[in-house]
Amino acid sequence: MASDYDVEFVERTEREARILVRGITPAFANGIRRAMVADVPTLAIDTVRFIENSSVMFDEQLGLRLGLVPLTTPTPEEFGDDDVVTLSIDVEGPATAYSGDLVSSEPDLVKPADENVPIIQLKDDQRLEAEAEAVYDHGKNHAKHQGGVAVGYRHLQRVTVDGDLPEFEEEESQIVRGVIEDDGELIPTSEFGHDLTERYPGKDVTVEDVPNAFVFHVETDGSFAVEELVTRAVDSIDDRAAELEDAVQL
């Protein structure tokens, strides 16, 4: 069973991408999507020791907020699965404590992915001092460990022009979302306001799904780059298949 995949980047930035994959079955596509959301482990703060908290929020509330701060997550090879990173924070009011105030014990490997996530606003004489421990876990267990946000896919849609619309017919907008294929050219629908009548005025067009061609939209929370998320998701499926292979042989 030769599976012949063809991968192409339609849009691409560090944290967000649209990736076209041809020749993939719906089952495998969904497996990869689900693995990206729930099975790729990321680091997140899980335990907090409060040294001083004279802010208006309870320790528990701040604990949750600290947990939700995305942290850059190195590969498990660079960093053991059971390893723990300590991040400390010390902010005195009047000021706002931001994620960028977290000081990591491994600043080269693990640090907040964004500097500007507000944690709490401190007034005069209020102070937050705490030490937090970040651990690896899966999105399945807590949303703070989800590396992929807004991960999904759609069929690639092929648009063919059938001819002109009748002269006096009123044109109705035809909305499509995702990526269309026109004569082999890939166009994200955002380029023409998701409306086919903007791109093909006065034309009669048909839209059809291209079988087994899926456009993934992948966005990460900053824990790692898009490529890293996809590769780790595929690896997690591969690991489980290998595990099953071994288990069956016994």
Contacting residues toward another protein, per CB under 8 A: 1, 3-9, 19, 21, 24-28, 30-32, 34-35, 38-39, 140, 227, 230-231, 234-235, 237-238, 240-245, 247-249
CB of 205 to another protein, least distance (A): 29
When the beta carbons of 62 and 233 are compared against another protein, the nearer one is: 233
Q: Cis bond leading into 94, ω under 30°?
A: yes
When the beta carbons of 29 and 117 are compared against another protein, the nearer one is: 29
CB of 246 to another protein, least distance (A): 8
Q: Which two tokens stand for residue 134?
A: 């970040």
Q: Which two tokens stand for residue 169?
A: 């017919």
When the beta carbons of 21 and 134 are compared against another protein, the nearer one is: 21
Contacts of 141 (CB under 8 A, 6+ apart): none
CB of 11 to another protein, least distance (A): 13
CB of 71 to another protein, least distance (A): 23
CB of 188 to another protein, least distance (A): 17
When the beta carbons of 18 and 65 are compared against another protein, the nearer one is: 18
When the beta carbons of 3 and 206 are compared against another protein, the nearer one is: 3
CB of 232 to another protein, least distance (A): 10
Q: Taking a C-beta distance cutoff of 8 angstroms, is the pair 7, 121 a contact? A: no
When the beta carbons of 35 and 87 are compared against another protein, the nearer one is: 35
